[in-house]
Amino acid sequence: MASALTTPLQRLCQRQRLSETQRLSETQRLSETQRLSETLRLSVTLRLSETQRLSETQRLSETQRLSETQRLSEAQRLSETLRLSETLRLSVTLRLSVTLRLSVTLRLSVTQRLSVTQRLSVTQRLSETQRLSETQRLSETQRLFVTQRLSETQCLSETQRPSETLRLSETQRLSETQRLSVTLVLGFGMGLIYLPGKVVICYYFEKRRSLANGLAVSGSGFGTFVLPPLIDYLLDEYAWRGTCVFLAGISK
């Protein structure tokens, strides 16, 4: 019986010991985790403080740089404004000096021109008076000469009138013969060219006869549209002889 009672007691003791050891190990683990968390928190806080310090130092450096750049830009602007003001002053002074010089020179030139024009006007008036006197003298001599010529021409016209009437009659006869020849020859030739061409097209085409007739008739219009600029180009390049040779070759 004693042995039977000792075994469960031992087991209970062992269990209690195991539970105590587990509790101790858990407490140790918890304490270690707490220590680790505290160390991590401390490291994080240190890092954050370092980053904040670095950011503050960077901000300060950036602000200093910006202030320096602003100061430099302001100094450059001031220097540029001073330079521009100086250049403007110099340009204004130069322009004023140039304008004064030009005004003086213009006044001198105007006075000289006026004096010259006055002199010229006086000389021109004198020359005009002399010319008028000469022209009056010449006009009188010309009138006498013209009157003599008119009398001579009247005498000659009375003798030449029958010959002129004969010439006019001959020219009228020639013009009538030319009109008759041109009208008859051209009419006959155009009749031989235009009508047979249309008739031949009607014999050769049956399905698209209207299209063929239209193309054949439009050739004259196309030629009148294309040939004038082509003839201008040929006259510029090859003169009138070359253009005549080219047109003769086309007509063949």
The whole-angstrom separation of Cα 194 and Cα 216 is 10
Residue 229 pLDDT grade (very low, low, confident, very high; cuts 50, 70, 90): very high
The 8-class DSSP code of residue 142 comes to H
Read off the pLDDT of each residue in 178-205 and give the average, rounded to a whole number.
79
Q: Residue 69: pLDDT above 90?
A: no
According to the model, what pLDDT value does residue 201 have? 86
CA distances from 16 to 12, 19, 20 (A): 6, 5, 6
Q: Of 27-31, 108-112, 168-172, which gets the smallest average pLDDT?
A: 168-172
pLDDT top residue among 142 and 17: 17
103-121 per-position pLDDT tens digit: 788 888 777 777 777 777 7
In terms of Cα–Cα distance, which of 182, 220, 183 is closest to 198? 220
Read off the pLDDT of each residue in 136-155 and give the average, rounded to a whole number.
69
3-state secondary structure of 212: helix
Read off the pLDDT of each residue in 204-233 and give the average, rounded to a whole number.
88
In terms of Cα–Cα distance, which of 220, 223, 221, 202 is closest to 212? 202
